[in-house]
Amino acid sequence: MLVLPIKNEETYEWLLKKHYAKRIPQIMYAFGLYKDNILVGVITYGIPASPSLCMGICGKEYSDKVLELNRVCLLENDKNQASYLVANSIKLLPKPTIIVSYADTEQGHIGYVYQATNFLYTGLSAHRVDWTIKGLEHKHSKTISDGMTLESIKEKYGDDFYYTERSRKHRYIYFHGTKNDKKILNSKLLYKSEPYPKGDTKRYDSGGKVATQSLLF
């Protein structure tokens, strides 16, 4: 297997048709996993949408070093492919870089791939509320708004506008750099490192309550 940089547009069909989110995130770096010269997986990294998240990991001083591992998508998800893709794509990123990624509890994800690649676990994301439009739930709110204010969106969509609780996510962080880089960034980490979550095959709703059984990733 081999991990190589690829063009952003080479990931689009994977992300729109194979990944459960069905949308393309902000992408700064994209890499492909090749087996026998065939592309069998993609991974993307981008700047997190939330400036407060970037500052909340290691402070404002290091906020410009933060990248989000925002998509991993594999053709078959054969044994060790995911961890191989994650680990070897990180090696191709600039140094130093702070990488944050999430495992969505609504999808039943625990984040075993991040555990296998020595990410730090920093607990569940905070409770959040999102807005959406009936019939457009598959679209991100930024796509729907297209520069409109929240008040104008409410006026446009009327009773089809509603709020929904965002599912909580397991948050993982990785420091990529020299030994000294990692030492400094570890000392600046504002989140508390916690033991890895284990052995849970349940899916959770936004309140943390068990909803259904699900496969893990």
Name all domains of the chain by residue range, CATH numbers in brackets: 2-126+168-213 (3.40.630.30), 128-167 (no CATH)
Give the pair of three-digit tokens for residue 83: 């961890």
Judged against a pLDDT cut of 70, whether residue 139 lies above it is answered with: no
The answer to whether the bond into 96 is cis (omega within 30° of 0) is yes
Residue with tokens 């259904």: 212
Strand order in the sheet with 97-104: 2-5, 29-35, 38-46, 66-74, 97-104, 169-176, 120-124
* Tokens 């690829």 sit on residue: 6
Residue 13 CA neighbour count, 13 Å, CB half: 7
Helices (H), ranges, the chain? 12-17, 51-58, 81-90, 112-116, 141-145, 150-157, 179-188
pLDDT of 78-135, one tens digit each? 889 999 999 999 999 999 999 999 998 877 889 999 999 999 999 987 646 666 787 7
What's the mean pLDDT in 22-37? 95
Record the tokens describing residue 87, joined without a space.
Answer: 């680990």
Residue 210: pLDDT over 60? no
